[in-house]
Amino acid sequence: MSLLSLHLLGSPVLRQRSAEVGAVDEDVRRLVDDMFETMDAAHGVGLAANQVGIARRVAVVDADGDRFAMIDPVVVETEGSSTAEEGCLSIPEIYADVTRPERVVIEALDREGNRYRREATGLKARAIQHEIDHLDGILFLDHLSLMRRQMLMSRWRREHKDDTSHIKEVQPAADRAE
Ligand code: ZN
């Protein structure tokens, strides 16, 4: 397994609609494994493939004690509404309250290529929706009011005006103090 580099806000791949996977092969399984490792090292609750520069419909989630891959995920049911703070590994240090359905049912393929259905509420439902948004080129900032989004975007631009690239290396978890 290997750690992948994260694409940050400004990288065009984050705004792309990712392509369907179709059949799960060895390349997809390796991508899933590397994404789990990268998500863990970055202390995320979810990660989508375009965040590591690969525009395919693959995401991983680790929330509320449930850890799973979603390949070609589709939302088949939503219910209710809930508001909570979100952040994103591709937009470090920016957080905002986002309103989304409280409960979601999805269908997706797992790492072995088997189709499954999963129901989620709370943090897990939020992470699932956040990751599926990524696969459609949508960021959590897009759910905010125009004014709030512009405020956070100008803060981001100010803090990142000296960046020479939109790519960030992830440090192995073992190398960091807990
Ligand atoms: Zn994100």
C-alpha 64 – ligand 1 centre gap (Å): 17
Q: Where are the alpha helices (DSSP H) in the chain?
A: 26-41, 122-135, 146-159
The structural domains of the chain, ordered by start, are: 6-161 (3.90.45.10)
The span from the CA of 154 to the CA of 173, in Å, is: 31
Buried (b) or exposed (e) across 58-83, using 16+ Cβ within 10 A? bbbbbbeeeebbbbbbeeeeeeeeee
The one catalytic residue in 26, 86, 112, 131 is 131
| Residue 131: active-site member | yes
From first to last of the 178 residues of the chain, give the pLDDT tens digit.
799 999 999 999 999 999 999 999 999 999 999 999 999 999 999 999 999 999 999 999 999 999 999 999 999 999 999 999 999 999 999 999 999 999 999 999 999 999 999 999 999 999 999 999 999 999 999 999 999 999 999 999 999 999 999 999 998 876 554 4
